[in-house]
Every structure is written in structure tokens, then in C-alpha cells.
Structure 1
Amino acid sequence: MGDGALSVREKSSTARVVPPARPRKLAKVPFVELADGRLQGVVSSGSDIGRVYVSSVEAGTYAFACSTNNNRPCGGARGWFCNHIRALVLEAVLQYGVERVTRYLKVEVGGEAPDGDDVTHAMTATRPVNGDGSAAAQVFSRFLRHLAYLEFEPTTAPLPEMQWFPTTRAVA
């Protein structure tokens, strides 16, 4: 490849994605990520199809936040993890695996085969506090951008908005 030829991967607009640890259903938690020192994502409302919650748990402190996409606080996240945060943790374990989630969040989980419930229990045993929720807009914006890519037809052509990424090729 030293002659200036690009590999197939370098020509493609797609990146290699790590497959989920186990298949998961996207209806309840359509977006989950380990980013910015938090487990964060978007969780569908159980009662209103037009409402979603932006939930997060901070690594190490387990400070949590949950609010609607309109920045209204979740009624269930008052001193304890609400059902949205519990669903987020469970889906993160399905997506990334329990080892990666516990390592990222700095959670000590005992037992032979821990699962998402064990991770949630270990965090709530430390009495986490309500966080400030300042990242909600950022997380929701990433979710919307993620959804926009679903509208594109599959292609290997470059995407204009991705052109700012640096190239490994020397420019003459």
C-alpha cells in the first residue's frame, strides 16, 4: 500500500462496528453509548409513544440524570434510579457486555455470571445522587444525528459531512 493505493476500508464511508454482545430490541432503548465518562442514551416512554427520556449515569460516582426530550425531569428519578435508567443499564450490558460496562462505569460486581441487574444493584447500593443533567441536549442531538443516517441508502461513497476527518494519505 506504500504506492498510494487505498485499501477498500479507506475508500469506504463506513467504519467497522463492534457487534453487540447479544442481540437487543431497539424499541425500548433505541440509543445507548459509553461516552464522555457516562453511560448515556435515549429510552422510550412506556406511556406516551411521542415521548422519550434522555438518561445517563456517570462513571465512578454513579450520579444519574433522566429527563424528557423537552428537558422536563423524570418523575421516577428522585433519589433512586428510575425505570428508564435501569432499562439503559440492561441494554448497555446487552450491547457492550457486562465486562466492558462495569470497567467503564468502575463498578465492582460480585458473583459468577453478573448481569445488568447485578450492575444496577451494585451502583444503587452506593446511594448515587441526582446529577445535573447538563449533557441531555448533547446526547439527544447525537441520537437525532444517528437517526438521520438511517435515512441514507447503503453506499460506499464518501459522505460529505465526514470529509473533515484526516486522511492517512500524504497530500501532494
Structure 2
Amino acid sequence: MLRVVPPARPRKLAKVPFVELAAGRLQGVVSSGSDISRVYVSSVAAAGFGFSCNTNNNRPCGGLRGGFCNHILALVNEAVVQYGGARVARYLQIDVSDADPAAHQLAAAMSAVHPAQAEDGKAVTGQVFSRFLRHLAYLELAATTAPLPEMHWFPSAGAVA
């Protein structure tokens, strides 16, 4: 059994409804500030910090101008809220001196490496958006205590490693 790690702090889901550390990346979905029907799928790879940010329709973010856009910065901020700065830094292999760094410290350390836009950005966008939609589907299920077959792998709240 796996231990369920509680969030470092409660998050507000309006701006960044989905954030995860998976597949060697910090990745997630960030709401558009100007269009309620548009979201951006942003990601930052571990170690080299290759980044991508595209709309849910695979159009590139207009804010990517050789560095992190505001969507990526919002994603980093919410990852720190969700997982804690130390865990995000370890996962992304960011060398920072602070034991529990803030989001702006992580973004500054990654930017200092001069990361480049990821070549596989559009492929990542599709994968992350698909995972987000699958998570949303669980919200539409009726409340029940019966087990869901597709969730058999998920640890129970009382399970510890």
C-alpha cells in the first residue's frame, strides 16, 4: 500500500485546477485570465527545465518569449502550495540553499539555467489534458461508498507504507 500524502496547504482551484509531479515533469492545467473557455497546459521538465505552455487546442502560449510565462509561474506557485517547496525542488532537481524554498526562489533558480522551450510540448499537452479530463470525470460520478473498479490501485485513506 502507498501512503497518501496530504497537501502542504489547501489550494484554491480556480486558477490552477490541476497540478502534478509526474513523468519527470511538473505539469498541470492553468485557467486563462481572459477567456473562461480556454485553459493552458503547462509543464517544466526536471533537471534541464525544458518548458512548454499551450492551450487546450494545442496553440502556443503568447507569453512564451524565451522564458517562463505567467501560466508556468502560476503552476510553480500552486505546486509549492500543494506539495511544499522542498518536495518540488527535489523532484525537479533544483539546487537551492533554502530548506523549504518559496515558488519565486524555484522559478529564479530554474530561470538562471536558461531553460529552452521543450521540443515535445504539443505531445505533453495532449497527455496532461487527457489526465485532467479523466480526473474531472470522477467529479461527475454519483456519491457512493461502493468500490470503483478503475480505482482499485488507489490507496485507502487509512493505508500506510
Q: TM-score range by the shorter chain?
A: 0.7 to 0.9
- Provide the C-alpha distance between the structure 1 equivalents of 2:9 and 2:151, rounded to a whole number of angstroms: 29
- Provide the C-alpha distance between the structure 2 equivalents of 1:38 and 1:111, rounded to a whole number of angstroms: 21
CA deviations over 1:122-172 (Å, ceiling 9, x no partner): 000110000020211010000000001011233231214346x5xxxxxxx
Whose RCO is larger (CA < 8 A, sep 6+)? 2
User: 2:30 pairs with 40, 43, 52, which one?
Assistant: 43
Residue in 2 aligned with 1:103? 90
CA deviations over 1:40-76 (Å, ceiling 9, x no partner): 0000001100000000000000000000000000011
1:80 and 2:62 matched? no
Residues 157 and 16 of structure 1: CA distance in aligned 2, closer, same or farther (over 3 Å)? farther
Specify the SS of the correspondent of 2:106. helix
Identity of aligned residues (%): 68
User: 2:7 pairs with 17, 20, 35, which one?
Assistant: 20
Q: Does the 8 Å contact 1:78/1:130 carry over to 2? A: no
- Provide the C-alpha distance between the structure 2 equivalents of 1:52 and 1:100, rounded to a whole number of angstroms: 26
Q: Does the 8 Å contact 1:38/1:59 carry over to 2? A: yes
Residues 130 and 99 of structure 1: CA distance in aligned 2, closer, same or farther (over 3 Å)? same
Residue in 2 aligned with 1:117? 104
Residues 85 and 153 of structure 1: CA distance in aligned 2, closer, same or farther (over 3 Å)? same
Residue in 1 aligned with 2:50? 63
* 4+ residue segments displaced more than 6 Å: none
User: 2:125 pairs with 136, 143, 146, which one?
Assistant: 136
Residue in 1 aligned with 2:156? none
Specify the SS of the correspondent of 1:119. helix
Tell me how many residue pairs correspond in the alignment.
Answer: 151
Residues 89 and 161 of structure 1: CA distance in aligned 2, closer, same or farther (over 3 Å)? same
Q: Does the 8 Å contact 2:85/2:100 carry over to 1? A: no
Q: Does the 8 Å contact 1:60/1:107 carry over to 2? A: yes
CA deviations over 1:64-94 (Å, ceiling 9, x no partner): 0000000000011121000000000000000
Structure 2, unpaired ranges of 5+ = 154-161
Quote how far apart the aligned CAs of 1:113 are: 5.0
Q: Does the 8 Å contact 1:45/1:53 carry over to 2? A: yes
- Provide the C-alpha distance between the structure 1 equivalents of 2:38 and 2:80, rounded to a whole number of angstroms: 24
